[in-house]
Chain A
Amino acid sequence: MKLVTFLKGLAVLAALFTTGRAVSAQELVEVFGPQITNRVLVLRSTTDIAVFGPVVETFLRTQPGLQVRYEQWGSNELYRLTRRDCRDGVAGADIVISSGVHQMVQLVNEACAASYRSRLTERLPEALRWRDELWGITREPAVIVYNRELVPAEDIPQSRFDLLDLLRPDGTPYAGRVATYDIEQSGLGYLFAFADAQEATTFGALQESFGRSQAVSTCCSVDIIKGVAEGRYLIAYNVLGSYAQGYQLKDKRIGIVLPSDYTLVLSRTFMIPKQADHKAEAEAFLDFLLSSEGTLALRTALLISPLLETEEGNEGEGLSSTALRPIGLSPALMVALDELTRETFLRRWRSTFPGP
């Protein structure tokens, strides 16, 4: 008995310690809803608060007296934190929403998630739910972003093959000015790269080509897009379409292309940790996100990308639906997180990008 108490104490200490340390890693925190209430729903997400905040506000309109504490995390940190909470049995977040789909699959595989079933979750396609513990709530394409002023119309790459052709000639003006995620830093970048590697052999060639032309790998969607807009980079590969489009609304200097050979489509995943204190509210939030109201809110936030639905506007070509490759929620994604596999994959990547 004493030992158990002691262990529990240790666990609490550890939790305090880790939480304390984690606080320094979290990017931003914002509180929605009433300031003083005892119903606080802790939402940890990789999505920028600015993008997702309006969705939360719409939700809170139906839930008086509920406060949402929104914590924004990097996907790798969020994965580590959630996993630690799960293993230590600590009630951390009530909801985890991450673009690191493979990490979420891993968490569900490790029995960290609570199960939930409703009419709305059942309407989701098979590929967008797993075990009734993980749900894909957004649709965001991985796109190519280019600088409209600096990239001539005939150079705009419509597919990966076009990109390869641009980079091939010696002394190409694009050398050193193509950017992509640093996949060691960004869980999302790694996921896209990994999915690319599964999807087609083009990726090998592209990677090689990136290496030769000294492409730049850097962190974070916003930085990359900004770099393109400002002309630091001419082209960015595998950028999250929702951010690109959001940026485009304010800054017309960038153009967006959905690669016509295939376009990866990411669904951010929603999980309710099994230790969540406010499961009912979390489930209500999930149902809200899947309802027509919530879908509309997500659409407004560009998280359900209009690029995928309309053919008009934008430089993005209308794509046949076969070119859309959703990253389905399947245990096969666990491969991406396997340490040795990741190591092998990253070693190859590092040899391409020798470092900044």
Chain B
Amino acid sequence: MTDLFRKVALSSLTARVAFGIAFLLIFGGVIVSIAAFAYGREAARSAYDRLLLGAATGIASSITVQDGRPVIELPVSAFELLALAPDDRIGYRIIGAEGETLTGYDEITLPTRRRDFRDGFFDSSFFGEKARFAVVSRRFAERTLNGTVKVVVGQTLRARNEMAYDITRKALYVLAASGLAMVLLSVVVVRSVLQPLERIAGGLAARDPHDLTPLDTSVPRETAVMINALNGFMARLDRQMNSMRHLISDTAHQLRTPVAALRAQADLFTDEPELARKEKIVERIQTRTASLGRLLDQLLSQALVIHRGDSARRERVDLRDIALDVFEEGDHAVLNPEFDVILDIGEDPVEVLADAQSLKEALKNLLNNALKYGRSPVRVGASSEGRRASIWVEDAGGGPVDGVLAELGSRFNKGALSRQSSSGLGLAIAHAVAHSFDGELRLEKTDSGCFRAALVFAALPEGRA
């Protein structure tokens, strides 16, 4: 059975619709047939019961009394009424006041049990064939005859059954016709439903491989869901490709200068005959290499952030953990031992939906900036204010001058990440991370005169799983 369902699930939509309709038709057909047959039988029964009753009443009313005994001349009309069921045998019996048969078939016996005897009708058999009988009583209150004469008239069931079958058959014709109509209709519907899909598929196939512009969404609402998803996916792809392109060009640009400088120093070193100056050049080369290494680190982390921003799954992240991790990695203690770094986190979790790895990169960059440009002590922390959650780095310095700050902000907003100093690159990374998870990068002076760089996100409501 499950196999069948699996097969159905894998089969074409048309097959599924066909399966559904076939099921409906068979199931409905059986139910309708049963209902039609029941109805037909009931209709035939009541129709022919009336005939019986009419005939019996006709016979009963033709009974007269002469010389103290009932005289019967069977009305032909009563029998002609019964002959409306042309192929049915007729049984009748007229029972006198004392229970004696006045005329007709002795073989017909009245049921003794009251249960078999409903509304003056009963089922029995007549010369071996099933038959139905009606009983009509007529009371006589003559001087010479006092009592009830019963007229029993019955008929075999051929005409009834035929009528029942006829009604059933006609109902089935109607059912078959409507079934056919349903099939045709469903074919049309399936066709028209699948047409937009075919059109979309055709459009996609005809596209230029580099064309990632959104598809036309003027399609039926149900199909638009798919188109929207497809468009979203293509937009992400487009964004990533753009980022990559930018990254590559940025990286190329950023690396060209320091590498050229290194080469120039190396050239100088070769040409320098004086030993003391040579040492100086070596020293300079060392500084440059170190800065180049840092630059590479940053470039890679930017690449990582950009990559993860679009592709990593968002999950519930406690910002305090990020702060703690970065603090505990302790790079700052090695690189900048002269700085005091303080962890500042609270008791309550500060949770957002984001990617931990990206957040960590961003925070590291902010911390590096603080260590590089700020003043000790530096505080790293996470906190929530109302519905906002933030993770931040704060140093005791005054931060960049106001103009630069404003300029930095505007540059990020424009998304122009190229041609930045290495500090700018760190901020750019933080900005990119904030942006990826619908947050923002805030650079501001606090009331206590410190400079704070914070990533602010929408907080997850507490306790929500």
Contacts and interface: CB of A to CB of B under 8 A. Distances in A.
Interface residues on B, range: 20 to 34
B73 A330 contact: no
A130 B87 contact: yes
A331 B90 contact: yes
Contact of A332 (B72, B80, B89): B80
Interface string B49-92: 00000000000000000000001111110011011001111110
Nearest to B104: A338
Given A109-B90, A344-B73, A338 B129 contact: no
B90 A340 contact: no
B5 interface: no
Q: Kindly name the residue among B74, B91, B102 whose own CB sees the greatest number of chain A CB atoms within 10 A.
A: B74
A340 B71 contact: yes
B89 A131 contact: yes
Contact of B79 (A110, A131, A332): A332
B128 interface: yes
Contacts of B71: 340, 344
Nearest to B126: A111
Contact of B87 (A131, A339, A340, A341): A131
Given A131-B89, A341-B103, A344-B71, A335 B127 contact: no
- Chain B contact residues, majority secondary structure: mixed
A125 to B, nearest CB: 12
A332 B73 contact: no
Contact of B83 (A110, A330, A340): A330
Interface residues of A, number: 20
A335 B104 CA distance: 10
A203 interface: no
Contacts of A132: 87
Given A330-B80, A331-B82, A339-B103, A344 B72 contact: yes
Nearest to B105: A110
A164 interface: no
Contact of A335 (B74, B86, B94): B74
Contacts of A30: none
Contacts of A51: none
Given A109-B90, A110-B127, A334-B90, A341 B83 contact: no
A109 B103 contact: no
A345 interface: yes
A322 interface: no
A293 interface: no
Given A331-B89, A331-B90, A344-B72, A338 B127 contact: no
A344 to B, nearest CB: 5
Contact of B74 (A110, A126, A131, A338): A338
A201 interface: no
A105 to B, nearest CB: 10
B239 to A, nearest CB: 85
A301 to B, nearest CB: 30
A37 interface: no
A147 to B, nearest CB: 35
A116 to B, nearest CB: 14
Contacts of A340: 71-74, 94, 102-103
A339 B71 CA distance: 11
Contacts of A109: 89-91, 127
Q: Kindly name the residue among A108, A132, A330, A334 whose own CB sees the greatest number of chain B CB atoms within 10 A.
A: A334
Q: Kindly name the residue among A108, A126, A335, A339 whose own CB sees the greatest number of chain B CB atoms within 10 A.
A: A335
A341 B102 CA distance: 11
Contacts of B94: 340
A110 B71 CA distance: 24
Contacts of A331: 79, 82-83, 88-90
Nearest to A198: B76
B162 to A, nearest CB: 13
B103 A338 contact: yes
Contacts of A130: 86-87
Contacts of A334: 79, 90
A344 B63 CA distance: 12
A134 B75 CA distance: 24
A124 to B, nearest CB: 13
Contact of A330 (B74, B86, B91, B128): B86
Contacts of B87: 130-132
Given A111-B128, A111-B129, A332-B79, A341 B86 contact: no
A109 B80 CA distance: 15
Interface string A312-356: 000000000000000000111011001111001100000000000
Nearest to B85: A331
Contacts of A111: 89, 127-129
A344 B67 CA distance: 13
A344 B90 CA distance: 21
Contacts of B104: 338
A146 B151 CA distance: 45
Nearest to B129: A111
A275 B80 CA distance: 30
Interface in B104-122: 104
Interface of B: 71-76, 79-80, 82-83, 86-91, 94, 102-104, 127-129
15 contacts: A111-B89, A111-B128, A131-B87, A131-B89, A330-B80, A331-B88, A331-B90, A332-B83, A334-B90, A338-B103, A339-B103, A340-B72, A341-B103, A344-B71, A344-B72
Given A110-B127, A130-B86, A198-B76, 9 more contacts: A109-B90, A109-B127, A111-B129, A331-B79, A331-B88, A332-B80, A335-B79, A340-B73, A344-B72
The 5 A-B pairs of least Cβ separation, nearest first, read A111-B127, A332-B79, A340-B72, A340-B103, A335-B74
